[in-house]
A and B are shown apart, each in its own frame.
Chain A
C-alpha cells in the first residue's frame, strides 16, 4: 500500500508568516510522530499522537508550534510567526501501534517515515 506522504515537499516562507505542514500516515496506523531535522540540532522528536490525542508534546520547541490530528489519520503541524531558526526538514512517521509494549511484537511499533518537508524561512 501507499507509504507515509507529506506535503508540501518544500516550503519557503518569510519570517513572521505562519506555515502548515501536512502528514498522511499509512492507512490503519494509529500512532503518528513528528520529528525535526536541522543542521544544528540533528534529528529531534517533536510530538506523538495516539489516535487523535497527543500524550507527548514534550519536543515542541515553543508555543509557536502546534499540531493536531483529525479522524485518526491526517496530521497538521503549524508553526506561527516563523523564525529563521525554524528552518529544517520536518519528518513525519507512523506506526501500526503506538508505544513499545510487548503485545504485537516489535514490528508493530516500527516507524515508517515520510519524505519530509524542507522548510526555509527567509
Chain B
C-alpha cells in the first residue's frame, strides 16, 4: 500500500523568508502524481502545486517550488518570500497514474505552517 509521510507536524517562518516542508512516500508504482495542498482555517483544500513522476524537472508555481527526488521518494515544498496568507495546514498527497487508477488521493498527516510578521 502507498503511504505518505510528513515528518514535521509544525513549522514556522518569518514573513519574507523561505521555508521548506518535507514529504516522503512509499510506493511500488513507477508512474504516479504528487501534490501539495493548502488548507486554511476555512477548511477549503487548495491545490498549490503538482508533479508528474515521469518528469525530471521540478515543478514551480510562482513562489512555490518542489524538490522531487524520485529515487529517494522525497517531495519537499519550498515557499519563498513567505506571506501571512501562506499560514495554513499543508498536505502532501499522492495518486497512482494511468490505466485503472481512480485518482484517489493518499494524504500525509499534514504540516501546520505559521508565518510570523
Alpha-carbon gap, A100 to B43, bound state (A): 25
**Residue from the set A89, A93, A113 with the largest chain B CB neighbour count within 10 Å:** A113
Tell me the complex Cα distance, A44–B97, Å: 18
Interface size on A, residues (CB 8 A): 31
> With the chains together, A93 CA to B108 CA distance in Å?
17
For A69-109 the 0/1 string (1 means CB < 8 A from B) is 00000000000000000000101010100111110001001
* A42-B109, A43-B91 given; A113·B45 CB < 8 A: yes
Chain A interface, DSSP helix/strand/loop, else mixed: strand
What CA separation (Å) do A109 and B102 show in the bound complex?
A: 10
Q: Is B84 an interface residue (CB 8 A)?
A: no
Flag if A109 contacts B43 (CB, 8 Å): no
Residues 35-52 of chain B: 1 if any A CB is under 8 Å from the residue's CB, otherwise 0?
Answer: 001000011111100101
Residue of A nearest to B47 (CB): A110
Cα(A102)–Cα(B107), bound, Å: 22
User: A99 to B43, Cβ gap below 8 A?
Assistant: no
Total interface residues on B, using CB and 8 Å? 27
Known contacts being A43-B91, A106-B50, A110-B50, is A100 close to B33, with CB within 8 Å? yes
For the complex of A and B, 7 pairs with smallest distance between CB atoms = A113-B45, A43-B107, A100-B101, A116-B43, A45-B104, A100-B97, A48-B102
Chain A to chain B contacts (Cβ below 8 Å), 26 pairs: A33-B103, A35-B107, A42-B107, A42-B108, A43-B91, A43-B105, A43-B107, A44-B107, A45-B104, A48-B102, A48-B103, A48-B104, A56-B102, A93-B45, A99-B101, A100-B98, A100-B101, A100-B103, A101-B101, A106-B50, A111-B47, A111-B103, A111-B105, A114-B44, A116-B44, A118-B43
Given contacts A42-B109, A106-B50, A113-B45, 13 further A-B contacts (CB under 8 A): A33-B104, A43-B91, A44-B107, A45-B105, A59-B104, A91-B45, A98-B103, A99-B103, A100-B33, A100-B98, A100-B101, A100-B103, A115-B44
